[in-house]
């Protein structure tokens, strides 16, 4: 293993840097800017059983030290992802990719995961039970331990690849939900998804987002994310992927010290499309300053 290498659910990746779902498309757009094979892997755009147009616009609003989004899981549906998006990705990315899956019912999750599990390019299935921007699905499964466990249990029955439960911080006790997912068979936990937020236009006296509320991401949420990673990693025995406001090599090391095995980078990609390769390049120097020889030590 190299100095930056880590093992995630039995799969070795060159470094722990993973662009987060929803901020990296299906990869090939970023491949026009740099060789995305420098990444550990990435989590592609949230995929549902059926095509989704997403929420009405405006979907994005600025916030102090971050942003609000209410895109609403816009995607072409799992069949087109498999027939159109993955072949284009295969031309530019030669590592296992993480498939992010959302749904509005247990059957949605099962159908989508069963199809993606058969794809050789897919290394992990990240089950999004924490999206705050859709009505009647997403986060409704991730706020209750029993409902979260039911999704994971159903998905595990039809899949062979590692299943990662992506959790919401918009709960009172995130540890109980993580434990329930672990007991249901989850191979890893990823957290946190966005915090629920809202902005108001002072002139119109109406919400800035057509959806009224949206998910807050960016540096503003980093301390919350570190706290959640710390709590969950000390409560479960499966790997934890940390995310939420990560924008530097130092942030990555802090997440790993909190207990994460790998780190997803989200909003930073929208601020600077080269954010992830810059973080990877800066990691060895940041490690040297702290006397860290290998990331696996952390």
Nearest by Cα to 36 from 82, 81, 97: 97
Compute the Cα dihedral for 278, 279, 281, 282 and give only its sign: positive
Other Cβ atoms less than 10 A from the Cβ of 13: the count is 21
The pairing of beta strand 195-197 with beta strand 214-217:
antiparallel
The whole-angstrom separation of Cα 66 and Cα 137 is 25
Residue with tokens 């809202």: 198
* DSSP 8-state symbol, 58: P
The whole-angstrom separation of Cα 257 and Cα 172 is 24
Neighbouring-strand partners of residue 43 = 98
What percent of the residues of the chain are helix, what percent strand, and what percent coil, each to the nearest 5?
35, 20, 45
Residues annotated as catalytic (active site), given as ranges:
131
The whole-angstrom separation of Cα 3 and Cα 94 is 21
* DSSP 8-state symbol, 219: G
């Amino acid at each position: 293993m190299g100095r930056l290498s880590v093992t995630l659910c039995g799969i070795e990746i060159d470094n722990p840097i993973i662009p987060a779902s929803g901020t990296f498309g299906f990869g090939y757009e970023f491949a026009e800017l740099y060789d995305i094979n420098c990444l550990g892997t990435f989590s592609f755009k949230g995929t549902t059983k059926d095509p989704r147009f997403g929420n009405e616009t405006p979907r994005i609003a600025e916030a102090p030290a971050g942003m609000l989004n209410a895109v609403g899981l816009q995607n072409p549906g799992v069949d087109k992802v498999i027939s159109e998006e993955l072949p284009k990705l295969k031309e530019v990315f030669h590592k296992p990719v993480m498939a992010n899956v959302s749904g509005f019912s247990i059957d949605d999750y099962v159908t989508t995961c069963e199809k993606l599990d058969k794809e050789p390019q897919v290394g992990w299935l990240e089950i999004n039970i924490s999206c705050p921007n859709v009505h009647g699905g997403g986060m409704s499964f991730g706020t209750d331990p029993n409902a979260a466990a039911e999704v994971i249990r159903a998905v595990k029955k039809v899949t062979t690849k590692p299943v990662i439960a992506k959790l919401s911080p918009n709960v009172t006790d995130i540890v109980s939900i993580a434990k329930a997912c672990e007991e249901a068979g989850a191979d890893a936990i990823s957290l946190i998804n966005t915090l629920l937020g809202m902005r108001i236009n002072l002139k119109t006296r109406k919400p800035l987002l057509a959806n009224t509320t949206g998910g807050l991401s960016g540096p503003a949420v980093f301390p919350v994310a570190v706290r959640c990673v710390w709590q969950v990693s000390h409560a479960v025995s499966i790997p934890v992927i940390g995310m939420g406001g990560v924008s530097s090599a130092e942030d990555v090391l802090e997440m790993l010290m909190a207990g994460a095995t790998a780190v997803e980078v989200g909003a930073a990609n929208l601020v600077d499309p080269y954010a992830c390769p810059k973080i990877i390049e800066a990691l060895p120097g940041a490690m040297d300053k702290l006397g860290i020889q290998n990331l696996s030590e952390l």
